[in-house]
Structure formats: structure tokens, C-alpha cells
């Protein structure tokens, strides 16, 4: 590789998110994915002459809530504008968007990564209507044609525009992961990438480190997975560095990313510097937002469990890895369960994490259920771990009790008694068995005396077999040492 380290990227992201409303942004048609093509349409979303838009109050509320969740400043009124351009997926010849009156400005996304936490500023959050969907891939479309499905036309879309403050493809990914999680937690969107409810446009320019002037900006549109986004940005970064090092100049262009080849390719459409001739939408009056309404939205946003905050708490309070923190934070029910169990448990919190991401998760997977569907309570897991800590249960016994707790619930101590799993820590009883073991395995005993530690296994194994695995291994080892030390 050439000296990529001398260069840095300046990346901005525009993320389009479909809002989780029942109906579309300006008409009563259902906002649904997967219905037969062109069955969810009406004169408004088909752009027929004489039809008039009516703002969906819930879409506005969700947009404002998202803006508040991203710590945006919320204006005291919002308005809509026409963005004029001609494209087959746009039935009216313009898109109703917010150019002058966004639902929020000057926000931020806090992200987390292996290297710690960071904040990327958000320039604005605005609402607009989605376009129709061009259909190419279906079996009923001929190779040389494009069909249009207007079910998507008019679906409420929110655009979150970051400041161009991202400096690497990896950081772009962390930003998107954190933003997406925040919007899911806020309940404004499912952010389902596969259903097109979360789509990413990026722009990237490259400059030599320390230089003020930015290079020419290149846009990469319609990235539909995190992997595609990171791959496209990395490919584009390397491509632009190559051009600059070769003494060339990067030209302003819009690209698409080809998943199959991992390359960016110019769009087929001839790129014109667009003039959208924005003007206020005459059919929609501005909407004043009373202070009390904004306050209520902001109070709701305060209630959201902020992903970065939760991750930080797990990192710092429970000594988790990043992967564990994400799992505990984002698997339904886990975080609340962990907090409740840790309030009830007197031992090391780390032990709870181990059991939750380990045995509990494996049991849930085997049963194909979620945590809330099992009968395990936080108090029962805490009590089980306390039996372990007190030496009253060993790990295999605790696993057996855990399985019972998950199926039937109950008290760990009572289950252990009923199943005869209590650990044997009585040194006298164990000593008797150790003497038997030595008598039955004289060679092993002699080997251990001679310093062959591995031979100890035969003696421990004997005692475990005799006790059905219930002997306390620490006590067994102590007693073996004592007995073998006898003259
Ligand atoms: Zn409609």
C-alpha cells in the first residue's frame, strides 16, 4: 500500500429512515411493506391533479421525538417545501420536503467503539415523503424495463444529516450503528435495512493531513447495509488517495456501490448540478409548535434508554467487552434483568455477566425462546450464584439447577435439595473417599508424590465418581494434598 496514512477522509452521512406510522405522510393510505404492488395508493400519493395533502400528525410527532432524542434544537414552527425535480418515481414532479423548516437542527449522535466513546454532530433532521420504488429484480419485469410500485410513494421519511465530521469508514459505521440503535429505542422506526426502511447516502472527500482545503466531494448513494457503506467508503478513500498521489484531480461525481465487486461505479444517469427551485409548499400551512407540546416531546425523549449511556454503564460498571455490552444492551430484556439481578446479588457483578451471556443465553437458544419467556427471575439467578459462592453448589450442579429454574421457576436451594445436588464440602467424608482412592490407585498416588501433578486427576475422578460429581473440588484437592503428605 502507498502512504494512505498521510491522508484523511472527510465524510458526511445522510440517513433516510422510514417512520413507523400506520398511514402515509400526506394521505390515509397504509404505510406497509410487502403488499402487492400499487395496492396502497390514492389520488394524493399518486399525485393526481386536484388532490391535496394533509399532514399526518403522528409522523410529525415521531420526527420531533427523533430530533429531541438526538439532542436537536426544536423550532417553534415547522413548514414544508417543494423540492422540484423530474424523475419517474416522483409522481407530482416535486417532492414535499423540509428545506427551510426542519423538525430539528444542531443535534448529535454519541457512538461507542473499541477505542472508547465519541460524538458526531448532526446538522439537521427533516421530514419528507418517500418516492415510489423502481422495480427491476422481480421475475415479472423484463430485462429492458423498469416498473414502478407506488406503495412506497408518500411513506413518511426522516432524513438525518450529519455534519461532515466523520474521518474514517470505521467511524462512519460506528455513527450509523449508534444512530440506528437510538432511533429503534426511541420507537420512531424499525430501521430495517432489508426492507429499505433505513438507507444511507454518503459523501466523502480526501485531503492530505494538516491541509485546510477539502478535496472535491464524491457522493455514494443508496447504500443498504453497513457492510456496503464501510466497503464503499474504504474503496472510495483508496481510489481518491491514488488519484491525488498520481498528481490527478478528483472530480465531483455521484457513484453507486456494487456489492458484488466491492467497487464504486458512476451512476448511469448523467449528473447535473441540481437546482431544486425550493419554495414553500402552498398546500400545507406552517405548523406552530406550542412550547407545552415541545416540552412534552422532550420529556418523552428523556425517558429513552440512550444506547451509548447503557453501553458505558456496562463497560464501566460490569467490566464487559464491547461485544458483551452490545449483546446485553440490545437483546430484549437482558439489561433490565442484569440490573435487577445485580441489585439482589452480593458477589462480583462480572459473575452475573458470565452467566447471562454464557449459560443463560445457551439455554435460551436451545429452547428457542426469549428471556422474558423463561421462568428464570433475576432474584433466582442471584440466589443461585450465591449458592456457588458459598460452596454449596459446584458448577455442574448449578447448571442443572439453572435449567430447572428456566423451565419451572422456583428457589435454587429447594431445587438443589430436591435433586440431591448439594455440594459435599464435609472434609471428614471426603477424606474417607480420598483414602479409598489412594488405596485403589497406588500408582497414581505414588506419581503425585513424585511430582506428577497430572496423576492427581485419577484420584479426584474417583472421589467425584463416588459422590456423583457433588464433592467440592477445592476441598478434595486440599484433602488429597494432606493425605499424600502423610509419612
Ligand atoms: Zn395515498
Sequence spans of domains, the chain: 4-298, 307-419, 427-485
CA distances in angstroms from 208 to 218, 240, 323, 337, listed in the order given: 16, 11, 34, 49
Determine the CATH number of domain 427-485.
Answer: 1.10.10
- pTM for this predicted structure: 0.83
Spacing, Cα 42 to ligand 1 middle (Å): 4
| Max CA pair span of the chain | 106
- Extended beta strands in 236-295, E state: 253-258, 263-266, 279-280, 287-288
Measured over the CA atoms of residue 148, residue 149, residue 153 and residue 157, the dihedral's sign is negative
Q: Which is more confident, 1 or 52?
A: 52
Question: 361-370 long-range contacts, Cβ below 8 Å, gap at least 24?
Answer: 361/327, 361/331, 363/402, 363/403, 363/406, 364/406, 367/406, 370/332, 370/333
Write down the pLDDT at residue 2: 45
Q: Beta strand 253-258 with 218-223: parallel, antiparallel or unpaired?
A: parallel
Q: Which three cell numbers stand for residue 18?
A: 422510514
Please answer whether residues 155 and 25 qualify as being in contact, where contact means their C-beta atoms are separated by less than 8 angstroms.
yes
Q: Which three cell numbers stand for residue 81?
A: 417545501
Spacing, Cα 40 to ligand 1 middle (Å): 7
Rounded CA-CA distance 216/206 in Å is 8
- Angle of helix 378-389 versus helix 395-408 axis, rounded to 10: 160
Rounded CA-CA distance 82/96 in Å is 5
Spacing, Cα 203 to ligand 1 middle (Å): 32
**What does the pLDDT average to over 142-164?**
94
Phi, psi of 268, rounded to the nearest 5 degrees: -70, -30
Spacing, Cα 153 to ligand 1 middle (Å): 8
Write down the pLDDT at residue 1: 42
Q: Which residues have a Cβ under 8 Å from the Cβ of 83 and sit 6 or more positions away?
A: 94, 95, 96, 97, 99, 128, 276, 278
Q: What is the mean pLDDT of the chain?
A: 91
Neighbours of ion ligand 1 (CB under 5 A): 27, 29, 42, 44-45
Please answer whether residues 233 and 262 qualify as being in contact, where contact means their C-beta atoms are separated by less than 8 angstroms.
no
pLDDT of 135 strictly over 50: yes
Spacing, Cα 234 to ligand 1 middle (Å): 40
The 10s digit of each residue's pLDDT in 383-429 is 999 999 888 888 888 999 999 999 999 999 898 888 887 788 888 88
pLDDT of 4 strictly over 90: no
Rounded CA-CA distance 357/110 in Å is 25
Spacing, Cα 24 to ligand 1 middle (Å): 7
The 10s digit of each residue's pLDDT in 175-201 is 999 999 999 999 999 999 989 899 999
Amino acid at each position: 500500500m502507498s502512504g494512505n496514512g498521510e491522508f484523511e477522509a472527510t465524510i458526511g452521512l445522510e440517513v433516510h429512515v422510514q417512520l413507523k406510522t400506520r398511514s402515509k405522510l400526506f394521505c390515509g393510505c397504509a404505510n406497509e411493506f410487502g403488499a402487492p404492488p400499487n395496492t396502497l395508493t390514492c389520488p394524493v400519493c399518486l399525485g393526481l391533479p386536484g388532490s391535496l395533502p394533509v399532514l399526518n400528525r403522528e409522523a410529525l410527532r415521531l420526527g420531533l421525538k427523533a430530533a429531541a432524542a438526538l439532542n436537536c434544537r426544536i423550532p417553534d414552527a415547522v413548514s414544508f417545501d417543494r423540492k422540484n425535480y423530474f424523475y419517474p418515481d416522483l409522481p407530482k414532479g416535486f417532492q414535499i420536503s423540509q428545506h427551510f423548516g426542519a423538525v430539528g437542527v444542531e443535534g448529535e449522535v454519541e457512538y461507542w467503539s473499541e477505542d472508547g466513546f465519541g460524538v458526531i454532530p448532526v446538522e439537521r433532521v427533516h421530514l419528507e415523503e418517500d418516492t415510489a420504488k423502481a422495480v427491476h429484480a422481480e421475475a415479472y419485469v423484463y430485462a429492458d424495463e423498469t416498473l414502478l410500485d407506488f406503495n412506497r410513494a408518500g411513506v413518511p421519511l426522516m432524513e438525518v444529516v450529519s455534519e461532515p465530521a466523520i474521518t474514517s469508514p470505521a467511524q462512519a459505521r460506528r455513527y450509523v450503528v449508534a444512530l440506528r440503535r437510538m432511533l429503534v429505542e426511541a420507537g420512531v422506526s424499525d430501521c430495517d435495512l432489508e426492507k429499505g426502511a433505513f438507507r444511507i447516502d454518503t459523501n466523502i472527500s480526501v485531503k492530505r493531513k494538516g491541509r485546510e482545503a477539502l478535496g472535491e466531494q464524491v457522493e455514494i448513494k443508496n447504500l443498504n447495509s453497513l457492510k456496503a457503506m464501510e466497503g464503499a467508503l474504504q474503496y472510495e478513500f483508496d481510489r481518491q488517495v491514488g488519484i491525488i498521489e498520481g498528481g490527478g484531480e478528483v472530480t465531483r461525481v455521484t457513484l453507486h456501490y456494487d456489492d458484488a465487486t466491492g467497487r464504486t461505479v458512476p451512476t448511469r444517469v448523467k449528473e447535473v448540478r441540481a437546482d431544486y427551485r425550493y419554495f414553500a409548499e402552498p398546500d400545507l400551512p406552517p405548523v406552530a409548535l406550542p412550547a407545552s407540546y415541545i416540552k412534552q416531546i422532550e420529556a418523552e425523549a428523556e425517558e429513552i434508554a440512550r444506547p451509548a449511556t447503557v453501553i458505558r454503564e456496562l463497560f464501566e460498571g460490569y467490566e464487559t467487552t464491547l461485544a458483551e455490552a452490545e449483546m446485553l444492551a440490545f437483546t430484549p430484556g437482558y439489561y433490565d434483568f442484569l440490573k435487577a439481578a445485580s441489585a439482589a446479588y452480593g458477589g462480583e457483578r462480572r459473575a452475573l455477566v458470565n452467566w447471562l451471556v454464557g449459560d443463560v443465553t445457551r439455554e435460551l437458544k436451545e429452547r428457542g425462546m426469549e428471556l422474558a419467556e423463561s421462568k428464570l427471575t433475576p432474584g433466582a439467578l442471584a440466589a443461585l450464584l450465591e449458592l456457588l459462592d458459598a460452596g454449596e453448589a459446584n458448577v455442574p450442579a448449578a447448571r442443572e439447577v439453572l435449567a430447572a429454574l428456566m423451565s419451572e421457576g422456583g428457589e435454587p436451594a429447594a431445587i438443589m435439595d430436591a435433586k440431591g445436588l448439594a455440594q459435599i464440602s464435609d472434609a471428614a467424608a471426603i477424606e474417607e473417599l480420598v483414602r479409598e482412592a489412594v488405596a485403589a490407585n497406588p500408582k497414581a498416588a505414588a506419581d503425585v508424590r513424585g511430582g506428577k501433578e497430572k496423576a492427581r486427576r485419577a484420584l479426584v475422578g474417583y472421589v467425584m465418581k463416588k459422590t456423583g460429581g457433588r464433592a467440592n473440588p477445592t476441598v478434595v484437592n486440599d484433602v488429597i494434598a494432606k493425605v499424600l503428605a502423610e509419612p
